[in-house]
Amino acid sequence: MENKKVLVKRIDANINDWLAEQKNATDYLQSSGRKDFNQNDILGIATSNFISKQIGECFREFSTDYSRIYFSPIVKNVISKIEECTAELHFFYIDELERFNNSNVHPEYKINDKLEETPQIQPFIDSFMNSYAFKIDKNDKILEKNDLVLVKILDRQSNLSSNSEYIYNSDEDKDPLLKELDAALEGAKVGSHVEITIDNREYGVDVLRVRQTQNMPINDDNASLIGVPEIKNRDDAKKFIVSTVVEQLFNKELHNYALSIYQEFEKQIDISKDEPKELIDSEIHRRIQDFISQFKFNNTQMSEKEIEEIKNEHYDQFKNQTLKAFKMNFIRSWLPRSLKITLEDGEIEKEYKTLMSMTTENDRQNMNINPQKIAEVLIDRKVAKHYLQINNPELYEKYNYGKK
């Protein structure tokens, strides 16, 4: 039987909010360096942003409803003009969740119970202790290449300001604003003020802080400069890095354990009668179109007949992938909610700071770190800890340090 359970929400942009979205879209296109955009480009970006925000608001509303699992909506009947933006969001859902059992799961993955003996730990600790990248304040010195500079940027048109920290005059690719900043801040130091103009838009810039990176061995005299309250000397620093590295290794083990848990539930749970055909078909179509677009990009001479043959050849593959992804999406949404797992205030920010301190700039770009991904990681971690405490309480206590 096809699941036709759907909640339809009509969204209608407030005129002031809608005009603001169009302005933001225009600013984005200008800042990206595009010169040939038109009103349709502006409306396209503004519409996408407006709908995305409304979907986010809906899911925040759904977060307090433990009786249903909602899926990303099908967007229908979009009207996008300069003076208005409306659409319908069709949220398919699964209910009667009490029929699914969240107990008695024993994942195949076994967590390493000797993380402190991992061979890679000691070289990392030695590198950390012998050449730590200290950030040293430069209060009265002129900016130099690769200094870390914190600036306050005031948009003269909107009168809105924001703080931004970036690497001055570095060799990495930068957006037009930072390129202009590099040129304007030549000879500047803490307290300096400059005015810049980008695409006929004026900005006031104040230099709030300048720091220089210096790689030095950690000793009793400089350990406090690391900026971690519990680190007061070299021994404190070593204990901190050892515990931090082991904790990060444990978190990786928890990630693998959580994936193994989800895979076990994938075997146990049957939602074949709950699959919304319209949503599934829509996703299959999207996957096929993406595949065909890539195929056509690499084979520009393809005929329509060849394209249809490729669609037919790969349809079952994409259908199976879509059904598997739909089921896993349900499990990863249902299981944490069934266990009443939530995130507390400050958890995402704390995890973000930890990731920033433990990764290089290149690693961060490759990881594409964002709040949603961090939230997913934290939820998975809590799911893993829940079942680890049941299945192996001794190991849970050994590496969890009494944390919940």
% of the chain at pLDDT higher than 90: 63
pLDDT tens-digit map of 7-25: 999 999 999 999 999 999 9
Mean of pLDDT over the chain: 90
177-201: b or e for each residue (b if 16 or more CB lie within 10 Å)?
A: bbebbbebbeebbbebebebeeeee
Neighbours of 210 (CB within 10 A): 26
Which of 29-38, 117-126, 354-363 is predicted least confidently? 354-363
Whole-angstrom distance, CA of residue 184 vs CA of residue 194: 7
What pLDDT does residue 300 have? 66
What pLDDT does residue 404 have? 44
pLDDT tens-digit map of 148-181: 999 999 999 888 899 989 999 888 777 788 888 8
**Domain 1-95 annotated CATH 3.30.70:** yes
Residue of 269, 264, 260 lying closest to 384 (CA atoms): 260
Whole-angstrom distance, CA of residue 128 vs CA of residue 134: 11
pLDDT tens-digit map of 67-81: 999 999 999 999 999
Domain ranges of the chain: 1-95, 132-216
1-95 and 132-216 have identical folds: no
The pLDDT-based confidence of 98 (bands split at 50, 70, 90) is: very high
What pLDDT does residue 386 have? 96
Phi then psi for residue 154, to 5 deg, are -105, 120
The pLDDT-based confidence of 34 (bands split at 50, 70, 90) is: confident
pLDDT above 90 for 231: yes
pLDDT tens-digit map of 327-371: 999 999 999 999 999 988 888 888 887 777 666 555 666 667 788
The pLDDT-based confidence of 236 (bands split at 50, 70, 90) is: very high
| CATH T-level fold of 132-216 | Chitinase A; domain 3 (3.10.50)
pLDDT above 80 for 226: yes
- For the entire predicted model, the pTM comes to 0.75
Whole-angstrom distance, CA of residue 402 vs CA of residue 389: 11
- Give the residue-averaged pLDDT of 80-109: 95
